[in-house]
A and B are shown apart, each in its own frame.
Chain A
Amino acid sequence: MNWIFENWEKFWEVTEVHVRLALLPVVIGFVLSIPLGWWASRSGTARAVLFPLANILFTIPSIALIVITPVLLGVQILDEINVIVPLVVYTVALMVRSVADALAAVPGNVVAAANAMGYRPFRRFLTVEFPLALPVTVAGLRVATVSNISMVSVGALVGLGGYGQLFTEGYQNDHTEKVVAGLIGTVVLAVLADGLLLLGGRLLTPWARVGR
Chain B
Amino acid sequence: MGWLFDPAHWSGETGIPVRLAEHVGFTFGTLLIAAAIAVPLGAFVGHTGRGGFLVVGLSNALRALPTTAVLILVVLWAGLGDFPVYVALVLLAIPPIMAGTYAGIRAVDPVTVDAARGVGMRETGVLLRVEVPNALPLIYGGFRGAALQVVATATIAAYTGAGGLGRFVFDGLALQEFGQMLAGAVLVALLAVLVDLAFAGLQRLTVSPGLRPVGTGGKK
Contact = CB atoms under 8 A, between A and B. Distances in A.
B142 to A, nearest CB: 14
B66 interface: yes
Given A68-B186, A150-B63, A63 B69 contact: no
Contacts of A164: 66, 68
A7 B160 CA distance: 26
B69 A153 contact: yes
A61 B63 contact: no
Interface string B72-114: 1101110000000000000000000000000000000000000
B65 interface: yes
A31 interface: no
Decide if the interface of chain B is mainly helix, strand, loop or mixed.
helix
A146 B152 contact: no
B148 A187 contact: no
A174 B76 CA distance: 7
Interface in A135-159: 146-147, 149-150, 153-154, 156-159
Interface string B123-167: 000000000000000000000000010011101100110000010
Interface residues of B, number: 38
B72 A171 contact: yes
B68 A59 contact: no
B73 A179 contact: yes
User: Helix, strand, loop or mixed for chain A's interface?
Assistant: helix
B181 interface: yes
Contact of B181 (A67, A167, A174, A179): A67
Contacts of B185: 61, 63-65, 67-68
B46 interface: no
Nearest to B197: A59
B68 A176 contact: no
Given A158-B173, A170-B72, A63 B166 contact: yes
A190 interface: yes
A157 B159 contact: yes
Contacts of A174: 76
A149 B68 CA distance: 13
Contacts of B198: none
Nearest to A60: B189
Interface in B179-220: 181-182, 184-186, 188-189, 192-193, 196, 219
Given A63-B152, A157-B159, A190-B64, A179 B76 contact: yes
A187 to B, nearest CB: 5
A157 B67 CA distance: 12
B192 A61 contact: yes
A167 B66 contact: yes
A59 B184 CA distance: 15
Contacts of A153: 66, 68-69
Interface string A187-211: 1001100100000000000000000
B178 interface: yes
Nearest to B179: A71
A183 interface: yes
A186 B155 contact: no
Nearest to A190: B64
A61 B155 contact: yes
B170 interface: yes
Q: Give me the 5 closest cross-chain CB pairs, A-B, nearest first.
A: A61-B152, A64-B185, A190-B64, A183-B69, A67-B185
Interface of A: 55-56, 58-65, 67-68, 71, 77, 146-147, 149-150, 153-154, 156-159, 163-164, 167-168, 170-171, 174, 176, 179-180, 182-183, 186-187, 190-191, 194
Given A67-B181, A71-B178, A182-B69, 13 more contacts: A60-B152, A67-B184, A77-B173, A150-B65, A154-B156, A157-B68, A171-B76, A171-B160, A179-B72, A179-B76, A186-B65, A190-B64, A194-B64
Interface of B: 61, 63-70, 72-73, 75-77, 148, 151-153, 155-156, 159-160, 166, 169-170, 173, 178, 181-182, 184-186, 188-189, 192-193, 196, 219
